[in-house]
A = this chain, B = another copy of it.
Amino acid sequence: MRKAVRDTVLQDLGESVGGRISTSESVLLQHGSDMSYHTPALPDAVVFPQTTEEVAEVVRLCREHKLPMIPFGTGSSLEGHLMAHRGGISIDLSEMNRILEINVDDLDATVEAGVTRIQLNDSLNPKGLFFPVDPGADASLGGMAATRASGTTTVRYGSMRNNVLSLKVVLPDGRVIRTSSRARKSSAGYDLTALYLGSEGTLGIITELTLRIYGTPEAISSAVCAFPTMQAAVGCVIQTIQMGIPVARMELLDTVQIDAVNRFTGSDYEKSPTLFLEFHGSEAGVVEQAEAVSAIAEEAGGGDFRWATTAEDRAQLWKARHESYFAALALRPGAKGFITDICVPISRLAECIEETQEDLSSTNLLAPILSHAGDGNFHLSILIDPSDASELEEARSVNDRLVKRALAMGGTCTGEHGVGLGKMKYLEEEHGAAALDVMRSIKKAIDPDDLMNPGKILPGPAISQ
């Protein structure tokens, strides 16, 4: 763009959002990078709209000038979703952070896309309510919807796919739609809500969400249990789910990860594959669930449950789990995490983890494993020296083999982090050329100018036949 034109466009954009626009280098860098190993790529400007109407006006201006648009929540993405490698405008939704409505009778809440999950829970908890989806980071709910996020409680409460009732979306042409109503279910036409969940900003910009919320359980208890092998731990998980025990959380840490947690938090967990468990229900129900899982664990060769029943102990326990990533990083000061995630049918989980550990042992890389075991999903945090190109290369190879292993086991290249740039090259192998063409034709139909987060999710152009 010529400088004069560019200046005019940026001025118009700035006016459309009440002057809340930035082109400062540090702001551009913050918005053109994420928490991943992907190389930053800066947008031309960042705008900070406060209403859906402002977003729509920004979209219309960007469309008029053929500028790429990249929605931005909190920047906690892990697969390069936010990189502006074709330039354009980063649309930062963090100032759209109002909680618009909480309906206690209907157990739903409507929020703007910039509201984070912790912010929402801070509003809900005093009313005896909570929103369960917990991806670890305090991500924005718009971002969580855009990546179809899930997390520690998905085994019981489902992912964003199960907990979003409706979305407000600004289309690539600037029109605004609501994808569904507040009804709990509907068969009225194509499921646009589901289409936008996981669309990573490539089909429009989510500005509002209506979410399912839940009553706080009467009782909660948590426990930690060590197992002699990965097989034993996963066996306990499979058996628990088969018996229909409604565990709320069932997180698996491998030996490297539990060692990292011990070093980082001063805890003294046994150095072996370990389950972190949580039970939600009535007082009696929680006791019954815990006894049942404890019996299953014992039969699988697991040790005693270490209980955390007071709120403080539980907070401590889950702090250890949630700080796993920082604990991992502390294993190698100065290292950066190359984080990847896959998901397989749970019957293949132990095998997939063990083959991955074996693969890792043939490299020089240290990489703790953390699994949402109840879903068959796990993360690998490969600790690399960011200045060492050969380590990055080796991590890429490990990741490549991991994804192919998961696909060969009937799994998916990403359970919850999304495609972004990082997983794009695996989509055809996972879905096949024809399914990818269906996705491409949808993208083309809804965003014909390819301006919405272009170059993400869908590799190459190839609508055949």
Contacts and interface: CB of A to CB of B under 8 A. Distances in A.
A375 B427 contact: no
A358 interface: no
Contact of A181 (B158, B187, B375, B430): B430
Given A186-B343, A187-B419, A180 B412 contact: yes
B189 A457 contact: yes
A214 B415 contact: no
Query: What class of interface size applies to chain A in its complex with B?
Result: 35 or more
Nearest to A341: B187
Given A197-B191, A284-B288, A107 B242 contact: yes
Q: How many copies does the complex hold?
A: 2
A242 B103 CA distance: 11
B288 A376 contact: no
Interface in A434-460: 434-439, 441-446, 457-458
Contacts of A241: 107
Contacts of A182: 345, 410-411
B194 A427 contact: no
A183 B194 CA distance: 17
A51 B158 CA distance: 34
B185 A345 contact: no
A442 B465 CA distance: 17
Interface in A197-254: 197-199, 203, 214-215, 217-218, 238, 241-244, 246
A161 B444 CA distance: 25
Interface of A: 103-108, 147-150, 154, 158-159, 161-162, 171, 173, 175-192, 194-195, 197-199, 203, 214-215, 217-218, 238, 241-244, 246, 281-282, 284-285, 288, 292, 343-347, 375-377, 407, 410-419, 423, 426-427, 430-432, 434-439, 441-446, 457-458, 465
Given A182-B410, A191-B195, 6 more contacts: A107-B241, A177-B434, A183-B410, A189-B436, A191-B191, A192-B438
27 contacts: A105-B345, A106-B345, A108-B345, A154-B185, A159-B185, A175-B465, A177-B435, A178-B431, A181-B407, A183-B345, A183-B377, A183-B411, A184-B346, A185-B343, A185-B416, A188-B414, A188-B431, A189-B198, A189-B419, A189-B457, A191-B191, A191-B195, A191-B198, A215-B242, A246-B246, A444-B445, A445-B445
